Amino acid sequence: MTNKAIKANVKGRIQGVGYRASTHQKATRLGIKGYIKSTSGNELEVVAEGAEQKLEELIKFLEEGPNKAEVEEFSYEWIEPKEEFIRFAIKYQV
């Protein structure tokens, strides 16, 4: 079974509502590898690799977010998997 990969961008009220943590939990449960990180105050980037069906489940989750999140813009594209991730991580700005 070959892995697929996506790169997604999420904008909206997504800081301080557990968006990154809940995405991390969901991706880990689905067996997806990759990362989520903030790119600005109200924008996140997600790169995820895994089985296509599992990625589609993650995409649905990203569009909604956790209960208190307000996703205003969501986009994603299918990309070439790099097969370099060992788990799903939350990347923090240094």
* Alpha-carbon span 31 to 77, nearest angstrom: 20
Average pLDDT over residues 49-72: 96
Q: How confident is the model at residue 2 (pLDDT cuts 50, 70, 90)?
A: confident
Average pLDDT over residues 21-38: 97
Average pLDDT over residues 84-93: 93
Contact 34, 23 (CB under 8 A): no
pTM given for the model: 0.94
**Strand arrangement, sheet containing 88-91:** 70-79, 4-13, 43-50, 33-40, 88-91
Residue 40 makes CB contacts below 8 A (sequence gap 6+) with none
Domains in the chain: ranges and CATH: 4-82 (3.30.70.100)
Q: What pLDDT does 92 receive?
A: 87
